Structure 1
Amino acid sequence: MENLRARINKVGIDLSRIRSFLLVPLFGKVFLGLVLFVPIFLLNQKTGYTSDDYSYHFFYESYLPSKYPKEINNFWDIIHSQYNHYHSWNGRYVAHTIVQFFMQYDKLLFNILNSLAFVALLFII
């Protein structure tokens, strides 16, 4: 390692300047990510459940909610519920599986992950 540093110093490259150059964009990206995350998270916190969200709390047996809805207890119930949903209502099973998964937990988890996904999408674009 010392030999490599000696060769780099002969060429005249300052390693401390390279390190600081690499860290500044990282700090800027993290800061920008936080600046974007906070308002998106606050908007997510203010958004309540809507009509379909309530039905995705429960097991889909047919295209209409049943009189006594069955609770979802595990991931297999979600898969079976989405199978019924696919064959009786519509084919957007990937999106609805994700929705039904998150509807089994506290909304805070969804708010955090949704805000992170939004910020990640902004960085990808």
Structure 2
Amino acid sequence: MADAAQRDGAAFAPSYMLDQSHNVTDPIESLMSSAVEVQRAFVQAALVDRAALKQHQDNNDALQSAQALKHAYRTDVSAILAMARVRSGGAADPVALYRASGYREQAAVRRPPKAGASSSGIV
């Protein structure tokens, strides 16, 4: 996707979707966590040295191609992501803030489970 965005510029307009199952986790926390991981992957993809990767690919050097990718994807970008979230008015740790807010507990009181249902009323 990063290659397509770089290649096509403003014409690149993908649709995004997260497909999740919330059988054992809080659905809001899971969505927040998934969004953070998508952001992490996007930032790491931006770190790939595309010129070096292309040269390795053109030379049919699979090992060096993999190394170029590993360098970017092994880079810890957590601090960059947290700083970007804070600068844009968000929380450095969205799940921690959500938990501290008590929203789930408040919502469970407002929407109690239906008789016979195993759900907390959140979903």
TM-score bracket relative to the smaller structure:
under 0.3
Instruction: Choose between structure 1 and 2 for higher RCO, CA contacts under 8 A separated by at least 6 residues.
Output: 1
Q: Normalising by structure 1, report the TM-score.
A: 0.25
Q: Normalising by structure 2, report the TM-score.
A: 0.26
Q: Which is higher, the Rg of structure 1 or of structure 2?
A: 1
